[in-house]
Structure 1
Amino acid sequence: MSTPVPAPYAESRPLPPHRALFAVDAKDFTGLPAVQHGPVSQLIPELVDQALERAELHELRDSKRFPANTGDGVVFGFDPVLLPFVLWPFLGVLDDILGAYNKQSVGPRIRLRASVHVGPLPDEDGPGDGNGTARNDTHRLLDSRPVKAILAAASEHITHLAAVISERVYEDVVLGGYTALHPDRCLEVPATVEGKNFSQRAWLFVPSPSGNLLQAGVRPREESAAPTAASACQGQEQDPVTLPSANYSGNKQHVGEGAAVMGSVGRDVTYTGGSTSYHGTNQHWGGGDNVAGDKQVGGAGEHR
């Protein structure tokens, strides 16, 4: 017997309960040798659970809703009441655990992108649980250009996690003052995904920025007390992530859409969504994610 598919707008029906969503996936997972895919796929949920345990989120660790292993990551739902604690301290603890693992591991480094979202989703212990627009948007945020570009720009030795927070979570939890994560530690970005009809405003949080991110004014965890701490430290105004049609005055740069991360450490890194001209080194891009040097985002094999 086939499951009936309800027609939209035909009648009013109860709204599914709101569920918070957390998802991660690993950078450059598909570039690993095939023999490492299985072990790394098992390792990622273990590291996430270790972080939940250390962040004292025992309840969440044991009560995940519709959890799934995506191969290069995990996704699960949970009670939205725990969102403030997922944003902080959990994201910071996860970054610490990844750093500790990467320091002592002889295998591949595990660097993760994470997304946090919330919305109505079916949750009735049935086969269709967790499927809906909120789930789709969680994965779109995870694959969005800004979070990929930020992680590619950072040092693999210092920055192990980059998180993208949906606007709904940011407004309700961060701006609402319910979490210890201060708004000044989040960067507003237009989240877009190449080849997908998706565009939303979102917020990036990098627990341990490094290299070019530091030069661009992305602040470490301990430097978040004063709103102007980053610009005062650099001695100039900084606007590392811009909205469409915004201008970055530090290096005469115009960004049509996306995030531009500049600095003197390592190399310059620019991410562009639309047509962007970067005048600092007389280079021009038409679109896509661009990293000067040997790092790549996307391309053959979908290296991330």
Structure 2
Amino acid sequence: MTRQKSDMTTLDGDTPAQRLLALLEVIAEKDQFFSLQSLVTETKLPKPTLHRMLQQLESSGMLQREADSRYYSRGSRLRRLAENLLLNDTVHGARHAVLSQLVEEIGESCNITALSGGEVLYLDRVETSEALRFYLHPGSRVPVHCSASGKLFLAQMPPAQRKRLLNEAPLKAFTRNTLTNLEALEAEIEGVHQSGYAFDDEEFLSGLICIAVLATHADGRRSNLGIAIQAPIMRMSREKALEYLPALQRAANAIAAIDCGSMPQRPSHNKKIKKR
């Protein structure tokens, strides 16, 4: 992960591999050749350290030297990696199509989420065409205790795991509706477990209501994909949100089917061995 500080980019990472990936992020943003010295100036890393990192990337085919050997550019392996990601990312495209169809059907913003540590990560989002809306772009993160999807992820955890996660950070109040008492949150989670859907009733942002369900697996495995509808309270009440529940569930089932179809088939161990 890279962080920008004024004109300086810092490379985060606890291991050499993570710092190499952070350096690749910096390189991927460049639209022209670059030199060792320009990266030293940009990152403020020691020249020997950066030289060693560039050598590793060059030897792996991720980078290549240009004619005068002073400048680097992206190597064929890195370009091939980017191309393959674009060519083969049909899962994201298929999920996005389902999300777009749901937004067209109900007229409100919808998103796909996943649990990441103690937060809910927005994997994808399609905005409503309404003028009044809340902007939460893909990559946004929301604390798990005040998110509709977060409550669903918590509800499928064993109690010990859920307690461990919730004890790691205080239940911060974002609005007057945020559940900051562990017993109250547990009671809410029990209701979510029974109903199969969850609300964020102005718990993260005042004026915003959300309903979510999980994209559940047919074999009963725990799911790490949620799909949610969000809207201002002047357009969507809890009662109105429940009217959208069938459409939301159909979209969740479609997304679960996409993910199931993208999983490699496990080899069968029940086939009879032919005798020779």
TM-score w.r.t. the length of structure 1 is 0.21
TM-score w.r.t. the length of structure 2 is 0.22
Higher normalized strand content (fraction of residues): 1
Asked which structure has the greater CA Rg, the reply is 2
Higher relative contact order (CA 8 A, sep 6+): 1
